[in-house]
Amino acid sequence: AADAEGPYDPARDAMTAALVAAMIARARPVFGVCRGLQELNVALGGTLRRDTSRSPDLIAHHAPDGTEFAAMFDHRHPVSLTPGGQLHAAFGRDTLTVNSVHYQGIGRLAAPLAIEAQAADGIVEAVSGHIDGAPVLAVQWHPEWDADSNADSATFFHLLGRALRDRQ
């Protein structure tokens, strides 16, 4: 909305939407992390909400203001994995604890996407889809932050690698 707080980067948004369309047109895998999940959702027709850290109806999805950069990634909460989803199959369990550093999230889910994970407050934390031959997978958290020491991060990146190998 025009009255929503910024900052905005219309050039980045346009570039991302074009990149998503080009990858899908070529039936190539499309992955997203944090803002990437948000950008995918919007590029495919969904919307965002900007209150994931200040709504009294939601859990905190971001560390308190003033938290040092590295400590922001220590802010964590559980997510429930969708039974039968890709992440549920890959992790072999019902929940994960993920880092959470986002001020906005999915408002309305884009029609071609399915929910892979949600926070206890209903905020979508991961999505997937198979659009015109292109596999799509995106998460709201940052698995790259602790990839060397977190087995769940390693599992996520193995899942991405398998999707890439399957497309060759």
Task: Please tell me the distance from the alpha carbon of residue 156 to that of residue 144, in angstroms, as a whole number.
Answer: 9
| Two tokens, residue 1 | 């909305």
- Distance (Å, whole) CA 57 – CA 108: 17
Q: Assess whether 142 carries a catalytic annotation.
A: yes
Catalytic residue among 88, 125, 144, 158: 144
Residue among 34, 39, 102, 116 flagged as catalytic: 34
68 is known as an active-site residue: no
Considering 61, 88, 142, 158, which one is annotated as catalytic?
142
Helix, strand, or coil (residue 97): strand
**Cα 78 to Cα 149: distance, rounded to the nearest angstrom:** 18
88 noted as active-site residue: no
Q: What angle do CA 36, 128, 64 make, to 5 degrees?
A: 45
Residues annotated as catalytic (active site), given as ranges:
34, 142, 144
